[in-house]
């Protein structure tokens, strides 16, 4: 993402230099040309920001077997019957000395793949394995089905992407 922004800004700068080097009407005030070039640079940057926002809003490629409906269902279970937010927080950023942050790219007990997240939720984390010393029971201690675990795992997977 950063590389795209750098490339885009470089392109905008080249366009601005090119426009200012074009010359134009000999009787025109040089400041007007600079102002026009600046306005075009600003407009191009705004277009890039909008394009980047649109790319961020585009659906990410989900793991095989995971659907957008599963992710949506998993979000509801995460904050509801799954009681996940009790330890991991409403946004998945974790609660100090309780539940780990699920939004970053550092996975403590899995490799971050959808399948390993499912397995981790199904089996839980012992107090010895836990970074906080607080265990996570299988299925988070909630009475949820295996299908609901799959949905929660799908949602948790998206948090770190």
Whether 147 contacts 70, CB under 8 Å: no
Question: Which domain, by its residues, includes 49?
Answer: 2-57
Same domain, 80 and 131: yes
Eight-class DSSP state of 138: G
CATH number of the domain encompassing residue 96? 1.10.760.10
Domain count, the chain: 2
Provide block-wise average pLDDT over 10 residues at a time, the chain (161 residues).
Answer: 42 41 47 60 56 51 97 98 97 95 92 96 96 95 98 97 92
Using alpha carbons only, what angle is made at residue 135 by residues 123 and 108, rounded to the nearest 5 degrees?
A: 75
Rounded to whole angstroms, the Cα distance separating 113 from 30 reads 57
pTM above 0.85, yes or no: no
């Amino acid at each position: 993402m950063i590389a795209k922004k750098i490339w885009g800004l470089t392109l905008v700068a080249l366009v601005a230099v090119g426009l200012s080097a074009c010359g134009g009407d000999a009787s025109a005030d040089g400041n007007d040309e600079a102002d026009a070039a600046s306005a075009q640079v600003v407009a191009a940057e705004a277009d890039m920001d909008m394009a980047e926002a649109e790319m961020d809003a585009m659906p990410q490629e989900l793991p095989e077997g995971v659907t957008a409906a599963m992710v949506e269902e998993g979000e509801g279970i995460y904050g509801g019957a799954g009681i996940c937010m009790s330890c991991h927080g409403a946004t998945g950023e974790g609660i100090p000395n309780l539940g780990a942050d699920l939004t970053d790219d550092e996975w403590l007990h899995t490799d971050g793949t959808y399948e390993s997240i499912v397995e981790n939720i199904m089996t839980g984390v012992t107090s010895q394995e836990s970074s906080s010393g607080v265990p996570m029971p299988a299925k988070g201690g909630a009475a949820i089905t295996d299908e609901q675990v799959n949905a929660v795992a799908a949602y948790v997977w998206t948090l770190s992407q």
